[in-house]
Structure 1
């Protein structure tokens, strides 16, 4: 029998080898709505990936789509760099009214380039400019972006290796529970700061994620975050919270640091701040830190007006009250209850879980199992990705707008994927 080889696709013949998600999910997607994606053959997939956190409000959210279409139909300005526009003014007014004022936050808003790594770069540059120092402290298993400054404070060795040059002026410290609770919080950090022979230059800032998403869904305790904020204030270091993936309600409150009761000096937002999956990023900072010269940090696509439109619509629809926050926490309890049962069923696999709100990680004694579980979940119609330095964590991150029934459906598929690979 003659077997005709399958012809390579245009993705394989023309697209760079750097592509990654399409290798885990080998299909061609065509449509999406709410918590589901559909491939070109019409097969539905329940999406517990949510655009790596860029789709907190689901795919093609009808409330946001209506606002966007109306804006485009009237020939609203699309591109404006940092010129004034009606869309930007409306967004800033909504952000102040619905996010900053209710939380008693007085932040200046900077529009860097439209991605997470852009806002991190802006934050690092600003901190160094303000303090006149170069060193920035990051944490083990941190992920802050793929450009050079952000990579220098990222922990993943594979991603760091892609830089091709030495990554300098960043020093990692142990994240919460990195040392299994055997060492008091910040003991090593404090000792290095105190010892003139440690070789650690006085840092300008500390950058931290309250939940390390790409690093393995590592959740910092509120007490640890409060201790870090106190240490920064006492040692004259700016505190930068990278809320690119965990902000915009992923952990319940709009900002992930609210539970800890801290007020960072600088906050990085991107992903779901655009509302509709639109590229957008913000760098927020205390007014006295606004020492930029005009144009000192800029970017061609920092004025993406369609994103201003969908972001303002999202703030209006979901942050005028605390309904979404409460529902996210309730759904988080639903996920946790299902994972308790799943881990009890698979004690022999060393199954365990951790998380907050609607970001959860499932792990096994065999660190290779997570990849197999995610592969099987895809075959069963569920999109979940791995995270962690060894891809050892199954990361569960549905849209915040997912229904309780969809959550149950997806968690049942996840349970079957674990059983099928046991």
Structure 2
């Protein structure tokens, strides 16, 4: 059972564990320059550094058991990569090297100050009742130079989260998506530092809302009730935060001044539901994934022993020019479960595509497998969806799946 703000209990497949815990690849390209590494992701169950084309350069670790998730976080200067698991925090350099564990357990809902001197994290194992049905979590801070394994200093309490949403029973496509994308729809809770004494983050999970915590005064409030943080992302220098709102615009928030700018997007057929956002390295473009009704909707015609998620969508990748406000469609893909992570380099936009449960649903509907089987039965292992590294040129001129069994994309913040 994974333990973070969304504690996912994933039913495992013994047969799949043999596949997903395979040894790391032995033959990879070499890191010749500090600028070679432009991307990080989990591939073959191991944290991997890659170049701007998405080609693996080095597998630094740590490795994951099937069902584990993580958050990959680059420092603002791109010199270090942190890998936050539920049971540990690991660190590797921007030029590679074996990942080493940082003393202490911080969970996955964490962030660093821009100078990386302080780590802030939510202690998700200790919810605080705020009112009936609503909880907050201790916000703790730790000096990164002095971390020795103890609990960080209590800064206050953050969030207004619906109680009971910290656990979810997920299987198949939803479980794969949750490793880096959280829950389909609300995403996963996140924290973002400002350049002053404020800390922004997911306010009201699973509902929309951006919260703000003022350090020193220990005050917390809802800063923007319409902002949808599950899809949001910061730019390369972590000075701006961009994400969709419930009233149909893309909002960019200046993390230095608190100012905002809205982009009202006009697209034939509508904007759809924005699922993921990523910035170009030079901060002039915003890439985003929108969900639309699927070409072939899924329908389960039998009553199964466990809930089967029939969610699917057609997804479109757009590019928004933040200078001219013009928008362009780059690529389209039909009938996926979702895009669990999105990242961009100078040449490409990368997305983690999670297949839908189409194969599993078809197997149940056609009685290839018995509806009475539990989700952990090895007979269902062949119907586990896959994940793909979808690579799209920034001008849309080329589109391809370049690797399978990839998740957790994080672009290194280098211009």
**TM-score computed with the length of structure 1 as normaliser:** 0.29
- Larger-Rg structure: 1
Decide which structure has greater strand share.
2
TM-score normalized by the length of structure 2: 0.29
- Higher fraction of helix: 1
